Structure 1
Amino acid sequence: MLAAMLESDGQRFQYEIPTCPGDGSPWTVGYPGCIEKSMAIFPLIMRYKFADVCKAAFCINSWHQNRSAQSCIVSLNTALISAEAFGENPITTYEDFKTFYRELDKLNLVSFREDYVIPVLGHTKLCFKGRWWPALHGCGMVHEYSRLCFANSICQEAGKSDEFESLLSYVASMTTLLEGAGWDGEEVGDIALHMPTASHWGNTARWFEESPYAQLPSDVLEVLSNKDKPVENAHFVKRADTTYPLFNPSILIDYLGFCCELLDTKALTGAVDSHLAFNADSFYTSNILDR
């Protein structure tokens, strides 16, 4: 970590910048500029209570109109996982939230590199252990959904089926309480940050109150809050022995990637091949022999 000092209202605050192990460069793979933007955001978020600003960030980042502003999502999450000091200002009401958002909007500018993202949050389904679960995934450019379809065999081979199922349950609760983040299939307009509605703020607040993330296994939380990973792979942040969620649509694919890392090439190839063979056999049986 690179330590930096920022000043605000005459006070100095510690800020730890995630760095790439080995060469000291900012630790991001696909979001150039997000580290610098996170530093610009820090003087704003340090005025507020940590739990409240986490809730506000989750509300903004999960809102369907903001899903294409991916660098903004990563920058805000980076600020939360890197800052060491926070204030006492609350974000309790929707008016408090709007005040925070308006100031953030001036600092967290959209990158010209952004691409349109279909803001699915439970709108697609994933079959795992014989049950269809609401899915959460991000940009289709890296074929996240098709890779997630192999989760059943890969997680079983890695001995992590129960852990992955706990994440699916977590996503399902998020989908239900956030009501799909307000997206009903319509085309989203320009790529920009948009003010979430009062209902989405209320849904986010209720979801934080129920805190289903507290039910996740500790080893899952550890994997998904690993500071040795790029900042875009952060999903949880811990402060004062309490864990808070960060909205990040790659949560399922990142954990599946961890499961893949547990397997050698032969075992991983075997898991994928067995999945393909099973589905090919099922297709042949149901569509050829039954005719």
Structure 2
Amino acid sequence: MKNPVMDAVQSEDGLWTASFKLVPGRIGGELTIALRKQCACSRPITLVELRDGLKNLGRDELFSKSHLGLRGLAWENFLQCLNESMESYGIVECIDKAHFLAQVAAESDSLRTTAEYRNRDGSNPSRWSRYSGGARYHGRGLIQLTHDHNYRKYSEYVGVDYVSEPDMVGSQIEVAVDSACWYWRKGSAWGDLSSRARSNDFIMVTVGVNGGFNHYAQRKQHLQSLAEVFSVHSCGVHAGANFDIYNFVDSALSRTRNGPIVWRRDLGECDAL
């Protein structure tokens, strides 16, 4: 036997690759099998991955604090919608999915709501009056779509009038998910966030979604967990990504006109997240 025989077989769900190698030996050879989990590039994520990656989701009903009719939505229906929308908008690389879902989890209170919360007495929070167009255009969707001009841009993109009916962004799961993917790729004032996610620029991604750094520690924890579950370390492109620390000087935000102002406003003299 001059050369070892090697082959690889992928599981039907695309999650695992089994590599077989026949090593020459005295008695015909020795067969070794190695299992490697595939990263989440170019395949649907599973429900197990979603729940394991976002550890504080719990096992109870989705959108349990929703006042727009989505409480108790089936996990399978949500996951199908999520996978289809991410694929449609080209959010297909494992690291991009990890960054996207980490921000989604923070914005949606760990998939408990698709709209910003009102005060406990049911009144509107005072900050809603500061949105362009007023309180009517408070945050809705998995990534909270705010301001009348963002509702207008999204409406023009999909050809449906959500300016007149903004509650539809938070009351229909397809729209709640689609609007988040649209914002990720096309709606943020800081540009296409997929390109920032693929370069692992957590700082730029966070300000692109939040406009600042609210709950950045939670967002980072979600990212680290999702990156592990999505096996980013096994990716042929992103295996070298480090999710431990993000220095401001390494972020594209440091090279924008207003980025340093936003950073110092929210984080003072801190130089890394």
TM-score range with shorter-chain normalisation?
under 0.3
Which structure has the larger Rg over C-alpha atoms? 2
- The normalised TM-score by structure 2 is 0.23
RCO greater where, 1 or 2, for CA within 8 Å and sep 6 or more?
A: 1
